[in-house]
Structure 1
Amino acid sequence: MQDFIEFFSFTDANIRYVTLGSVLLAASSAVVGCFTLLRKRALVGDAVAHSVLPGVCLAFMLSGTKNPFILLIGAFVTGWLSLLVIDYITSRSRVKEDTAIGLVLSVFFGIGILMLTAIQQTGNAAQSGLDKFLFGSAASLIGEDLIAFGVVAVLLLVAVVVFYKELTLLCFDQAYARTIGFPVRGLELLLTTLTVFAVVVGIQAVGVVLMAAMLITPAAAARFWTENLKVMLVLAALIGAFSGIAGAFVSYTAPSMPTGPWIVLIVSMIAILSFALAPGRGWVARIMRQRRNKTRILEENLLKLLYQLGELRQDYGSARSLEELLERRNIPKKEALTGLRKLRRQGYLQKVESRWLLTPEGEKRGRRVVRLHRLWELYLTQYLNLASDHVHEDAETIEHIITPELEQRLIEELNYPDLDPHSARIP
């Protein structure tokens, strides 16, 4: 508790620098990462992150100083150059983008390692700590670094706000953007520049090896929670900011723990929880939805079966035994009993001794499923010219997902039919 109070009081200047720097880096990178993710160019961030190392080394060799602004300029130049090379290789050859990314990443990173090794062998005392760009060192951020990162982070956020409409259209409908006269190539260069800036501003905190995670992971986590881009941007920024604060706190309470890797680890944990628990798109929600759909299909199949038995004998008011149902349809006995009991609780069936009887509501629902099945069979034979003996399986699947609106449209398209392709009456 004492460490918690000391940390969040922000009385220590070093805590302020590290925390604010981490928040700025993580939040701004996450916002730009949303557009990179939506354009399906997630690997580009990794390529840029590895390609900035030779720029950092070259800037140091030319200036002889570790001034963050000079190093950022060098990193920006080679990062931007790497994206131009990727685009050039992709457009001028048969090499696919992922292959081009791998080539550029390895070549630029190899050059960076060679330059870093050469600098270390010169004996220049000023080069001490330059290798921190490989793995990051957020705990060593100072006021000068914070100013540089703050300027870049603000530029990134302002650019996203100003060009939000254009970037959104570029991500979702590039052809339409070109049709209405948007400068698509210019917007692509703008997004490229923002991506490079986001990577460049984050490498000192988490390093070139982990920077791709900072760019993409918060965006991927936010994507699972919403379908709205504005909400996604805010969520990604909040996830990135929280990860920055949490990583700095862990590093403060356990000085041997590096800040950058902990930021990445925390944002990855948030992403995993999002993948699992997000409503609608998460694993848990998907499993529950699949179970609900499976249960509904079983229930509708049982009601349809009972209705068809009544239709066959022109007697909807008689109770049927479980054996009669299983003779007509291959349903596991345990599943059939579970479904029948649930339908009874819902008021669709009544149990008379050991036999099952449709209630008026159950008969109505069973009739609708039969009607949808036969309408779809008729539609497939009339409009797709399928043979009548080849449409049953398709109808078995589609009958469970036809909405009332689509049902009405089918009836109108088929001119209010009375019989299906097998001359059975459509109820």
Structure 2
Amino acid sequence: MLWQALTLQLGYNATLVAIGAMLLGIAAGVSGSFLFLRRRALVSDAISHATLPGVGLAFIVMVALGGDGRNLAGLLAGSAISAAIGLLCVQWLTRNTRLAEDSAIGAVLSVFFGFGIVLLTVIQTMESGRQAGLDSLLLGATAGMLRSDAILIAAGGALTLALTLILRRPMIMVAFDRDYAAARGLNIRQVDFATMALVLAVTVVGLKIVGLILIVALLIIPPVTARFWTDRTERVWQFSGLI
């Protein structure tokens, strides 16, 4: 069974899910490397927990409009918007208050996750009858993926990986020397935005596979492990993708 899984011989659906999960894992390892190099690993935790209110609100809106509240594309869109708002809140608190970034992350993480849990509780009392499986986004449910879900996740993972590889040089430059990068004409804010956007994309796409709690491990553990093996930046993100 293990050999069949590794050689993608378990059938069409299982192969599709495996490819989707593999692409997501590579994208998470590579994009997480640049977050690790920036010493902002905790930001991924805030982003992942901030997706939960978006999932709940997206479900409520889709049901209210007469649609299927469990439509994955709709849930991911809602979680992306919610995560983006959470990230903006962290940045605003860091720049405009006396809070350090770690304190701002803790505040945003707690508030958004708590609000998301409240929404899930409310959803369970709704009479739509379509709530089953919604809580799988907390811990993931690879076995319950549909073909359309796997294709969506594979496409999202592949696109995120491609964009990360294209933008890797400016992200590396900003990670190690912001002043030099600015002198070279790079827009630091745009590079920061691109880095956070890629991490956000991986987080949102990975909700169905590993859930919002474990996606942080998928982003951070590979680059941390790779760092033990090499001192070269290029090797760090390459090893992270392989892990």
TM-score normalised to structure 1 length = 0.54
Equivalent residues, number: 237
Which blocks of at least 5 consecutive residues in structure 1 are unaligned?
A: 240-427
Which residue is 1:63 aligned to? Answer: 62
Shift of 1:169: 0.7
The 5-angstrom pairing of residues 118-197 of structure 1 reads 118-197=122-201
Provide the C-alpha distance between the structure 2 equivalents of 1:44 and 1:159, rounded to a whole number of angstroms: 20
The 5-angstrom pairing of residues 288-307 of structure 1 reads none
Which residue is 1:13 aligned to? Answer: 12
Give the letter aligned to residue 143 of structure 1. R
CA RMSD of aligned residues (A): 1.4
Provide the C-alpha distance between the structure 1 equivalents of 2:185 and 2:45, rounded to a whole number of angstroms: 32
Provide the C-alpha distance between the structure 2 equivalents of 1:168 and 1:195, rounded to a whole number of angstroms: 15
The 5-angstrom pairing of residues 387-402 of structure 1 reads none
Shift of 1:76: 0.8
Deviations 1:264-323 (A, max 9, x none): xxxxxxxxxxxxxxxxxxxxxxxxxxxxxxxxxxxxxxxxxxxxxxxxxxxxxxxxxxxx
Given the alignment, which residue of 4, 20, 23 partners 2:2? 4
CA 1:136/1:128 → structure 2, altered by over 3 Å: closer, same or farther?
same
Give the letter aligned to residue 193 of structure 1. A
Shift of 1:98: 0.5
The 5-angstrom pairing of residues 105-116 of structure 1 reads 105-116=109-120
CA contact (8 A) 1:38 1:171 kept: yes
CA 1:9/1:73 → structure 2, altered by over 3 Å: closer, same or farther?
closer
Provide the C-alpha distance between the structure 2 equivalents of 1:196 and 1:13, rounded to a whole number of angstroms: 29
CA 1:6/1:195 → structure 2, altered by over 3 Å: closer, same or farther?
closer
The 5-angstrom pairing of residues 254-333 of structure 1 reads none
Provide the C-alpha distance between the structure 2 equivalents of 1:9 and 1:181, rounded to a whole number of angstroms: 46
Shift of 1:17: 3.1
The 5-angstrom pairing of residues 32-43 of structure 1 reads 32-43=31-42
Shift of 1:5: 4.5
Which residue is 2:202 aligned to? Answer: 198
Deviations 1:332-357 (A, max 9, x none): xxxxxxxxxxxxxxxxxxxxxxxxxx
Provide the C-alpha distance between the structure 1 equivalents of 2:202 and 2:179, rounded to a whole number of angstroms: 26
Shift of 1:179: 2.1
Which residue is 1:310 aligned to? Answer: none
CA contact (8 A) 2:16 2:151 kept: no
Provide the C-alpha distance between the structure 2 equivalents of 1:14 and 1:198, rounded to a whole number of angstroms: 22
CA contact (8 A) 1:18 1:140 kept: no
CA contact (8 A) 2:227 2:236 kept: yes
Which blocks of at least 5 consecutive residues in structure 2 are unaligned?
A: none
Structure 2 counterpart SS, 1:127: coil
Provide the C-alpha distance between the structure 1 equivalents of 2:89 and 2:227, rounded to a whole number of angstroms: 29
Task: State which structure, 1 or 2, has the greater radius of gyration over its C-alpha atoms.
Answer: 1
Given the alignment, which residue of 89, 96, 101 partners 1:97? 101
Shift of 1:21: 2.4
Provide the C-alpha distance between the structure 2 equivalents of 1:75 and 1:102, rounded to a whole number of angstroms: 19
Shift of 1:9: 5.0
Deviations 1:42-66 (A, max 9, x none): 1111111111011111111112322
CA contact (8 A) 2:8 2:18 kept: no
Matched residues, percent identical? 36
Give the letter aligned to residue 194 of structure 1. L
Provide the C-alpha distance between the structure 1 equivalents of 2:215 and 2:145, rounded to a whole number of angstroms: 16
CA contact (8 A) 1:32 1:160 kept: yes
Which residue is 2:29 aligned to? Answer: 30
Deviations 1:2-45 (A, max 9, x none): x2344345242342133222212211111110000000011111
2:231 equivalent to 1:217: no
CA contact (8 A) 1:37 1:216 kept: yes
Deviations 1:101-128 (A, max 9, x none): 0000000001111111111110322221
Provide the C-alpha distance between the structure 1 equivalents of 2:82 and 2:35, rounded to a whole number of angstroms: 19
Deviations 1:147-193 (A, max 9, x none): 21122112211211221211111111112111222111111111111
CA contact (8 A) 2:48 2:216 kept: yes
Provide the C-alpha distance between the structure 2 equivalents of 1:82 and 1:171, rounded to a whole number of angstroms: 22
CA contact (8 A) 2:72 2:149 kept: yes
State which drifts further: 3-12 or 197-206: 3-12
CA contact (8 A) 2:230 2:236 kept: yes
TM-score normalised to structure 2 length = 0.93
Given the alignment, which residue of 80, 85, 88 partners 2:84? 80
Give the letter aligned to residue 114 of structure 1. V
CA contact (8 A) 1:203 1:211 kept: yes
